[in-house]
Structure 1
Amino acid sequence: MNKNGFTLIEVIISIIMISISGLVMITFLGTAFKQSGQPLQILGDNYSVLNAIEIVNADYRAKLENNPSQAISFYVKKDLSKNITGLIGIGVKGEYINFSAPDANRKVNEITAVGSSIYVLVTATKNNSRLITILGN
């Protein structure tokens, strides 16, 4: 009698072991596949926010070139996307800001200004991405 090859029990046990290891791999890799698009979404949001800040900055520079006495109060709004084109789907707001006098350690703190200031803090947000810049007159 020829003893080459595997018995039926060995083949069945091998198939069961391969199936179990496959299920374990699918369980662990399943979450990775489901969340694999998340970094791309975050990157897209970061790019959109950066682009929005660039649009606001370009708009500010263009207004200053046309009229050097341009009032910075134009950028103090809850929603700048209504006044500046190209800011669709991104929350952009501006608020007056001042800075405290330097302390003993030369640290300067931001102070929310009431009324007017020569600085405007512009914040752009989309989902969990946020970028802040300061415009000055």
Structure 2
Amino acid sequence: MMPQRVRLQLEAAARHPTSIIGCQVRREPPDSTERYTRWINQLAADQLLTQVFTSNGPTVIMPTWFCSRAWFSHVGPFDEGGQGVPEDLLFFYNHLRKGGGVVRVDQSLLLYRYHPNAATHSVLEYVGPKAPDTVWGPARCQGRA
């Protein structure tokens, strides 16, 4: 964490009391998740809300989140359902449902280390039982699969 992070995010939170305040990050090692890191650091301010519904999830990453205790209490607790529960994404969506905003301090204020065994890799993506037919079913019906 960079020394000015708390001060800069606190100032932003005072201006945006119902927002999650994030910041840009520097990745360690530098070449880990390079495309994702570039995406989160370069989104325009208006994209912080619109791009949250992509497969990448929250547009400010959870380790950078900053908000008041009052706003956190209003949104509600994290879902502690256990391994594989995307608690940050669920909290983020609940935050948006309650009218919350997303603001990013456009400075790299956090060193974000990549760990191949991080818990984020244990979140399972659910594919419903009909999903394989959406792509492969038509080809199979025509004898090409």
TM-score normalised to the size of structure 1? Answer: 0.25
Greater gyration radius = 1
Greater RCO structure (CA 8 Å; 6+ sep) = 2
TM-score normalised to the size of structure 2? Answer: 0.24
